[in-house]
């Protein structure tokens, strides 16, 4: 993979404007954040790489509503100059409730919402696209979801418990699984099945993804004098070599390249 390519999940603040806010209060149980990414009007041609973060989204992009499934590995996308993306990030366990499908069917996928909601999705996309600003677009999407939310089951609480436990301690998947089995009253096999249904992969893969996200947060927050070895330790890696292997697998880049590209 060409390591000069940029990653919105790492560089979104540098690639134009990126910001987030809380979703409409009526949607808080189902969506974690509403986010916005406006690409600059002049950019270098080529694809951008999206790094997995453990979430899936409903996105409005170029007049189309789509589902961005949970990514297992880096996902390259072609985004033209001036592209506006408005997204609502599903809470853990909410994806299947809204779409009537399981996460494994959408891993690393980008699928038009029309595949799930049919003509209603086409009408909604046309209505949303009349918004004259990113915020107006977001409010229209949220309004449509608020109108549906009473008919949607609450997200699977086991999925939320799994996500919170691994995010809090992404260092030891065996210990986390043991804790989840005890707190949820489930076998290890059941915990894995519930994670697979909610995220598209089991606890071990989710742990790798959330640990790398912890590395990215640490790299942004710590002084530039911190070494990769120190960052690896803070993020929960065994050593710098462990970080390097997983960075290559998840992003196609070395940790040093990722840190150099951080805004």
What residues are paired with 19 via a beta bridge?
Answer: 36
Nearest 5°: the CA angle 259, 202, 167 is: 50
What pLDDT sits at residue 125?
Answer: 97
Sign of the torsion formed by the C-alpha atoms of 79, 112, 124 and 18: negative
pLDDT category at 173 given cuts 50, 70, 90 is low
The pLDDT assigned to 46 comes to 55
**Spatial contact of 236 and 243, defined as CB atoms under 8 Å apart:** no
132-164 pLDDT per residue, tens: 999 999 999 999 999 999 999 999 999 999 999
Least confident range from 2-16, 81-95, 144-158, 188-202: namely 2-16
| pLDDT tens sequence across 14-53 | 466 789 999 999 999 999 999 998 887 776 555 677 889 9
Q: Would you say 27 and 98 are in contact if contact means Cβ atoms under 8 Å apart?
A: no
Smallest Cα–Cα separation from 36: which of 84, 89, 79?
A: 84
Residues 218-246 have pLDDT tens digits of 998 888 778 999 999 999 999 999 999 99
Distances (CA, A) of 166 to 191, 207, 211: 12, 6, 9
Among the listed residues 63, 167, 183, the one whose alpha carbon sits nearest the alpha carbon of residue 125: 63
Rounded to whole angstroms, how far apart are CA atoms 148 and 74? 32
C-alpha to C-alpha distance for 163 and 145, rounded to whole angstroms:
24
d(CA 230, CA 201): 29
12 pLDDT above the threshold of 50: no
| Confidence at residue 171, expressed as pLDDT on a 0 to 100 scale | 66
Residue 93, sorted as left (phi over 0), alpha (psi -120 to 50) or beta, turns out to be left
pLDDT digits (tens, 9 = 90+) for 204-215: 899 999 999 999
Q: Percentage of residues in the chain with pLDDT exceeding 90?
A: 64
Mean pLDDT along residues 60-73? 94
Q: Residue 169: which pLDDT band, with cuts at 50, 70 and 90?
A: confident
- The model carries a pTM of 0.88
């Amino acid at each position: 993979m060409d390591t000069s390519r940029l990653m919105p999940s790492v560089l979104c603040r540098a690639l134009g404007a990126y910001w987030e806010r809380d979703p409409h209060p009526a949607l808080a149980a189902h969506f974690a954040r509403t986010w916005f990414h406006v690409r600059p009007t002049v950019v270098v041609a080529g694809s951008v790489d999206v790094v997995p973060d453990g979430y899936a989204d409903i996105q409005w992009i170029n007049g189309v509503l789509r589902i961005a499934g949970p990514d297992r590995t880096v996902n390259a996308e072609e985004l033209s100059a001036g592209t506006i993306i408005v997204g609502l990030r599903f809470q853990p366990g909410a994806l299947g409730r809204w779409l009537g499908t399981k996460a494994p069917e959408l891993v690393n996928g980008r699928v038009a919402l029309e595949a799930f909601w049919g003509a209603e999705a086409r009408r909604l996309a046309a209505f949303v696209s009349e918004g004259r600003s990113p915020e107006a677009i977001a409010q229209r999407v949220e309004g449509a979801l608020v109108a549906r939310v009473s008919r949607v089951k609450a997200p699977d609480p086991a999925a939320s418990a799994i996500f919170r436990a691994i995010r809090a301690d992404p260092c030891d998947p065996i210990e986390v699984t043991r804790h989840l089995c005890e707190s949820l009253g489930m076998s290890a096999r059941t915990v894995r099945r519930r994670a697979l249904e909610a995220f598209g992969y089991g606890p071990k893969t989710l742990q790798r993804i959330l640990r790398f996200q912890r590395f990215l947060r640490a790299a942004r927050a710590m002084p530039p004098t911190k070494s990769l070895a120190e960052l690896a330790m803070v993020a929960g890696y065994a050593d710098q070599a462990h970080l390097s292997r997983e960075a290559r697998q998840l992003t196609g880049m070395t940790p040093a390249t990722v840190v150099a590209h951080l805004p």
